[in-house]
Amino acid sequence: MRASLLLPLVVAVAAAPLGAQDTTIAVRAPRKPPVAVADSAINRPKPMNYFFRSLAIPGWGQASLDRKLPGAIFIAFEGIAIGMAWKAHSELDYIERTGSERYDAKKQEVQDWLFLIALNHVFSALEAFVSANLYDFPGDLQRRTLPNGRAGVGVSLPIR
Please choose, from the candidates 113, 130, 137, the residue with its C-alpha nearest in 3D space to the C-alpha of residue 70.
130
Least confident window among 25-29, 75-79, 134-138: 25-29
Task: Write the pLDDT tens digit of every residue in 28-45.
Answer: 555 555 444 455 455 677
Summarised one tens digit per residue, pLDDT across range 110-125 is 999 999 999 999 999 9
Q: What is the pLDDT of residue 49?
A: 93
C-alpha 128/C-alpha 121 separation (Å) is 11
Determine what percent of the chain is predicted with pLDDT higher than 70.
66
- Give the list of residues 6+ apart from residue 131 with CB closer than 8 angstroms, or none: 50, 61, 62, 65, 67, 70
Q: Are 123 and 129 in contact (CB under 8 A)?
A: no
* Distances in whole angstroms, Cα of residue 147 to Cα of each of 66, 141, 157: 37, 18, 17
Q: Are 132 and 65 in contact (CB under 8 A)?
A: yes
- Mean pLDDT of the chain, nearest integer: 80
Handedness of CA 94, 96, 98, 102 (dihedral sign): positive
Per-residue pLDDT tens digits for 85-141: 999 999 999 999 998 899 999 999 999 999 999 999 999 999 999 999 988 777 666
Comparing 79 with 23, the larger pLDDT belongs to 79
